[in-house]
Chain A
Amino acid sequence: MNEANPPIAHLPPELLVSIFASLADESSVYETDWTVVTHVCRAWRHIALDHPILWRHVNFTDDDAWTRELCLRSQSVSISVLWNVEEAPYSPIKADILLAHLVHTEQLTLLVDDDSHHITTTLTFPAPALHTFSVFSSGQSEVDIPTNLFDSYSPKLHQVAIDRCSRFPWSSPVLNNVVVFNLSNVVDFPLGEDGGFLAALERMSVLKTLSISSVEPYSFVTGNTPSHQHAELSHVSRLTLSCDVTDCVAFFQRVRLSPAVSLDLSAVSTSSSDSIRTLLRAIKSAGVNTDEHAVSLELTSSCPGFVCVQTYNVERPTEQDKEFPAFYIAFLWSEERELDALDVTKAICATFSLAHLQALNVNIRGPQWCAALPLWMDLFGASRSISTLTVSGREGALVCAALTQAYDDGTKKWGPVVHGTVATYFLPTLTNLEIDRDALSFTLLGESAPLHQLLPQWLKQREDAGLVALRALTLDGYGGVTPEWIADLKIAFPSLAITVY
């Protein structure tokens, strides 16, 4: 092996194939930019043309002859086919090419429009190598899928993504071995129909990941025949659902899920606390064990006067709330709209029963929020179980100041610690307190002093008042304390875990 100055032309063909394959794989998969190597020299051209594996990604183009040539160069290796009708308009020749090579097609992706949604009706030939089948539509028409899709023979089909295919032949055996199933743009899709969607999901015994998104509101309930039968979907380990709360509820009321299923919900609500509660009950009734497993729910509400997104992490229930788990609620207000802070705050008060609330994170921005301060006072004051309350945002400090005043007046039972623009309020049930380097001052019963000077006094006062004892104190970069101060605090409050960074 002469290695003095090895020109690349002397590399064994299999190494050049590896290089070309890497070039092909790293470009956008279906791009043919890599084929420029066939114009570099004779050896490269021969090697490229002699190795069909390099031609396994076939992107249908406007040129029918070139499309056919690409398919022929792949010979009989498993190929991935992409046909985007916006770049390669439908032609009977292309349809014939597609069908002629279906037998060794491993991945098939069709991007259709209103003029070409019938492409799929030709897919009535066996697809013995097909692993992934995806259909996406840029139009509004339903995509037509034949009842004898792939002649009912696609034993390796593990991944299916269909878009605007509400009339999919759900009884087709091609779904039997599907592991990942994505359904999007669902319209008028009653779940109660016999032999329909839910029955298909039940039969898909190896299905692990199910995603349903962009469901037209009330698609799952329109014309739905009430049924007490549940589709057994305990084999599904991950469920992603994005639709109206009403449709979410309808779905969960019709299925049985594994207690440990991973749920990722994105629901749209008309901002009624009842709908949220109904949804949570439906999730539980589907068998999901929210006691042990977190559920991620992003709820988009549209109330008169405002839009908000609320994120719930449903965690373990507590003694205070047997019916519903504790909520972590974050309100992220749309800054693009002029919001009436008073209305928003009223809506929050009306929407949530704060008796169940354990943690609340509120991001307050905009001077108009000051007008709503009295309501915020009521909002926070209504809670009897909040252990963590964080108010942040540009106007957070104003809210904080008002609450401080309320505390000093003796009308409320908590006091704030202000650090920077973030204000953390600790309540009667507070168990964990974090203080950062910006926590410069602390107001307690009208006395204002550096935090560390008043903190021992405040802890003692809590203890004397019989409030829930603080269990953990974290000082993150706060510069006012000395080792002696920490040692004294540990002696005075031996059960308090003190962490200093």
Chain B
Amino acid sequence: MPTIVSVDDSTVPGEGSSRLLLLVSSDNKHIVVEEDIMSRSRFISKQVEGFEATSQRHAILLPFSSFVLNKVIEYCSHYRGYYLLEDDPDAAPPGRSPVREWDQEFLDVDRNMLLRIIKAAHYLEIKSLVGSCARAIADMIRGKTTEEMREILGVENDFTPEEEHSPSSKCTG
């Protein structure tokens, strides 16, 4: 559960349908963003619903840095007002995540940043961004050997020799 602190109204002024939210990153940066922009996040939407119930507005503390948070806000800003099937809670999940050219450029970042973004997207429940990140990570390891995959993504081989070569462990044809 996120930590929620009270904020006074002057910090987060309400302006009808385009109200502002105060997001606080793990490095204690305060970022004000329009509620509409972040409505793609199921997590944020649920927080806002909570505000409605209590008639109090709060800052939302998030467990990732402002650098990562700003990337997520950039994504949400780009798709502000766009309908993306993956983010529709009432729609059936698509069979495969669609390829969006803008996303590919947006996610042309290093491995660690990509992993941070997908974790943040997962935390914020932005399925479209999770899908695009997953595709980008898959692209990094597609066609690679197990050793190359370990190297690219920093994974340790923790198989015992028996596990690795046991006939019962066959996983590929």
Closest to B95 in A: A25
The one of B68, B142, B155, B172 in contact with A8, judged by C-beta atoms closer than 8 angstroms, is B155
Residues on B with beta carbons closer than 8 Å to the beta carbon of A7? 115, 153-155
Q: Within the complex, what minimum Cβ distance (angstroms) separates A50 from chain B? A: 12
Interface pair B173/A66, CB less than 8 Å apart: yes
Within B114-167, which residues are at the interface with A (CB < 8 Å)?
115-116, 118-119, 122-123, 130-131, 134-135, 137-139, 141-146, 149-150, 153-159, 163-164
Most chain A beta carbons < 10 A, residue from B139, B143, B149, B164: B149
Interface pair A39/B146, CB less than 8 Å apart: yes
Cα separation A450 to B81 with both chains bound (whole Å): 55
The one of B116, B143, B157, B173 in contact with A41, judged by C-beta atoms closer than 8 angstroms, is B157
> Is B45 engaged at the interface, CB distance under 8 Å to the other chain?
no
Interface pair B172/A32, CB less than 8 Å apart: yes
Interface pair B173/A63, CB less than 8 Å apart: yes
With A19-B137, A33-B143, A41-B156: A25-B171 Cβ-Cβ less than 8 Å:
no
Interface pair B134/A21, CB less than 8 Å apart: yes
> Is B65 engaged at the interface, CB distance under 8 Å to the other chain?
yes
Q: Within the complex, what minimum Cβ distance (angstroms) separates B31 from chain A? A: 16
The one of B63, B138, B173 in contact with A23, judged by C-beta atoms closer than 8 angstroms, is B138
Residues on B with beta carbons closer than 8 Å to the beta carbon of A18? 130-131, 134
| Per-residue interface assignment for chain A, residues 29 to 57, with 1 indicating a CB less than 8 Å from any chain B CB and 0 otherwise | 00011011111111111001100000000
- The stretch from A9-17, A146-154, A245-253 touching chain B is A9-17
Residues on B with beta carbons closer than 8 Å to the beta carbon of A464? none
> Is B112 engaged at the interface, CB distance under 8 Å to the other chain?
yes
| Per-residue interface assignment for chain B, residues 92 to 123, with 1 indicating a CB less than 8 Å from any chain A CB and 0 otherwise | 00011100000000000000100110110011
Residues on B with beta carbons closer than 8 Å to the beta carbon of A49? 171
> Is A6 engaged at the interface, CB distance under 8 Å to the other chain?
yes
> Is B64 engaged at the interface, CB distance under 8 Å to the other chain?
yes
With A3-B68, A22-B97: A38-B159 Cβ-Cβ less than 8 Å:
no
With A21-B134, A23-B141, A25-B96: A1-B118 Cβ-Cβ less than 8 Å:
no
Residues on A with beta carbons closer than 8 Å to the beta carbon of B112? 5-6
Closest to A63 in B: B173
Q: Within the complex, what minimum Cβ distance (angstroms) separates A2 from chain B? A: 9
Residues on A with beta carbons closer than 8 Å to the beta carbon of B156? 9, 41
The one of A3, A26, A32 in contact with B173, judged by C-beta atoms closer than 8 angstroms, is A32
Residues on A with beta carbons closer than 8 Å to the beta carbon of B123? 1
Interface pair B172/A41, CB less than 8 Å apart: no
Interface pair A9/B155, CB less than 8 Å apart: yes
Cα separation A36 to B172 with both chains bound (whole Å): 7
| Per-residue interface assignment for chain A, residues 46 to 81, with 1 indicating a CB less than 8 Å from any chain B CB and 0 otherwise | 001100000000000101001001100000000000
Cα separation A349 to B68 with both chains bound (whole Å): 72
Cα separation A63 to B170 with both chains bound (whole Å): 13
The one of B68, B122, B144 in contact with A15, judged by C-beta atoms closer than 8 angstroms, is B122
The one of B95, B130, B163 in contact with A42, judged by C-beta atoms closer than 8 angstroms, is B163
Interface pair A11/B157, CB less than 8 Å apart: no
Q: Within the complex, what minimum Cβ distance (angstroms) separates B165 from chain A? A: 10
Interface pair B138/A26, CB less than 8 Å apart: yes
Closest to B154 in A: A7
Closest to A70 in B: B173
Residues on A with beta carbons closer than 8 Å to the beta carbon of B47? none
Cα separation A491 to B118 with both chains bound (whole Å): 66
Cα separation A20 to B137 with both chains bound (whole Å): 9
Closest to A44 in B: B155
Residues on B with beta carbons closer than 8 Å to the beta carbon of A26? 96, 135, 138-139, 142
> Is A27 engaged at the interface, CB distance under 8 Å to the other chain?
yes
Cα separation A61 to B172 with both chains bound (whole Å): 12
With A1-B64, A9-B155, A15-B122: A38-B172 Cβ-Cβ less than 8 Å:
yes
> Is B26 engaged at the interface, CB distance under 8 Å to the other chain?
yes
With A6-B119, A35-B172, A45-B171: A40-B146 Cβ-Cβ less than 8 Å:
yes
Interface pair B119/A15, CB less than 8 Å apart: yes
Closest to A18 in B: B134
Residues on A with beta carbons closer than 8 Å to the beta carbon of B137? 8, 19, 22
Q: Within the complex, what minimum Cβ distance (angstroms) separates A211 from chain B? A: 23
16 contacts between A and B (CB under 8 A): A6-B116, A8-B153, A18-B131, A21-B134, A22-B138, A26-B138, A27-B142, A36-B146, A37-B141, A37-B149, A38-B171, A39-B159, A39-B164, A41-B150, A42-B159, A45-B169
- Extra contacts, 10 of them, besides A3-B63, A7-B115, A9-B156 (Cβ < 8 A), are A1-B123, A6-B112, A8-B155, A20-B138, A32-B173, A35-B172, A38-B171, A39-B146, A40-B155, A42-B158
- Top 9 A-B pairs ranked by shortest CB distance? A38-B171, A18-B134, A22-B138, A1-B63, A23-B138, A25-B96, A8-B153, A35-B172, A22-B134
